Amino acid sequence: MAGFMSLLDVTIVAVALPTVQRDLGASPAQVQWVVSGYALTFALALVTAGRLGDALDRRRIFLLALSAFVLFSAACGAAPDITLLVVARLAQGLAAGFMAPQNSALIQQLFRGAERGRAFGFFGATVGISSAVGPITGGAILALASGADGWRWIFYVNVPIGILAVLLGRRLLPRVQGTGRGHVDAIGVLLLGLGVLALMYPLVQADSGGIERLWWLFPVGAVVLLAFAQWQRRLVAKGEQPLLDPRLFSTVRGYAVGAGVGTLYFIGFSGVWLVFALFYQHGLGFSPLRSGLAVTPFAVGSAFAAVVAGRLVERLGRLLTVCGLAGVILGLGGTALLLHSVDLGTAPWVAAPVLFLGGIGGGFVVSPNFTMTLRDVPVRMAGAAGGALQTGQRLGAAVGTAALPGLYYLVLGRHQDYRAAVVIALGAALIGMVASLALATFDWQRDRRTRSGSGKRPQEVADDPVRSGQS
């Protein structure tokens, strides 16, 4: 429930932006911060929040962050002007960023073996559904809540769900203490925050020319992140506790590759939904609700496959991700071909079965990748590891949501051809998917060589208590 709300709020608000702008008398740049500000603070908080959960009490941080998310959702709905709405959205994104790494860390902490795979299967289904149904849900709420203030219910809907989630969390989540190491690397927090901010800020300002004006922040961000990595290595060498242990990437098998697979996948995955919304609403004149319904087959296929994938990941391992990425590429590639060649009046419905196939592939990507990436991570580092993994995904999503609609508008402006614009944008999304597939295939082949050389399945190594830090 908590994960669904926090990820749904990344996309659900987009369909209400025209109404919000009209009702509050906001400029396009101001109203864009309702979406981009949430994504920015969400990404900035993830690693620090994960490290705090590792050091202190994941259950307490989760419940506090969830309560804050509900409170700021209500504040968003009640905001009398655009300034207060943006401030409330920034705070809501910060709360979501503190909540998200506790989700994956609690799964790491509470489940082992096949049970963990099934738990991540449900988690992956939640990620897939929440990302894909945001436009549908937003369109439905706007259709039901008529009037100038109907957009406020997009935020108010979180309140009863969130209160129920807090009550269930207090009752059902067990009390398990963290490592007790309360010290958090303040310099690391500052360096990582500045680095992520420098990389994301031009992207979240892309609609108002941020990339052209602020391109110089990309190399600045890269330099700051290199300084962060060097500082983390120095702390490890001195025997102190880093914010993000660099040994996660160098010695924990599969973590670096899995983080790369997730980042590359989300570049294409996140931007695709904005491209579809632009094409269906502007190109074909669909309402927000009808536009959302046109991409529902992907969400349905993804939800179904993610739950099944949780039961298969222990048996098939990284091969499941490879097959899933191939399915997504076939689904989105086939959809692009159909939108290019079939009559536009029937194209969305002809493409529905192909999108369903892509959704099944997507369900075999997210949850298995979470499981495979985090399976060897020591539980004492699970929060920071999950936070770093999701930070990469947020960066990938920011790149995709800036680049793909930008490419769509570029083609549309030059040729005034909606078909060409959507096909070229979907083709660009496939580049990220293919790169993710190549990386996943590399990891799968490496697993096969490891298994044939040692006679052990990779998971047997992960369950070794010394390797997993549980001795």
What domains sit in the chain, N to C, each tagged with a CATH number? 2-184+243-462 (1.20.1250.20)
* Contact (CB, 8 A) for 365 and 328: yes
Over residues 25-38, mean pLDDT: 79
Q: In this structure, what token pair is assigned to residue 350?
A: 């002809």
DSSP letters for 173-219: S------S-----HHHHHHHHHHHHHHHHHHHTGGGTHHHHHTTHHH
Report pLDDT for 463. 41
Over residues 385-403, mean pLDDT: 78
Over residues 34-48, mean pLDDT: 81
Structure confidence at residue 231 as a pLDDT band (50, 70, 90)? confident
Over residues 47-53, mean pLDDT: 82
| Sole residue written with tokens 């669904």 | 4
pLDDT at residue 167 greater than cutoff 90: yes
Measure Cα distances from 252 to 81, 146, 373, 437 in Å: 48, 52, 9, 21
Report pLDDT for 181. 54
Structure confidence at residue 465 as a pLDDT band (50, 70, 90)? very low
Over residues 266-286, mean pLDDT: 81
Q: How many CB atoms lie within 10 A of CB 197?
A: 18
pLDDT at residue 132 greater than cutoff 70: no
Q: In this structure, what token pair is assigned to residue 156?
A: 């108010």
Structure confidence at residue 334 as a pLDDT band (50, 70, 90)? very high
Mean pLDDT over the full length of the chain: 81
Structure confidence at residue 468 as a pLDDT band (50, 70, 90)? very low
Over residues 432-460, mean pLDDT: 75
Structure confidence at residue 207 as a pLDDT band (50, 70, 90)? low
* The amino acid at 95: A
Report pLDDT for 178. 54
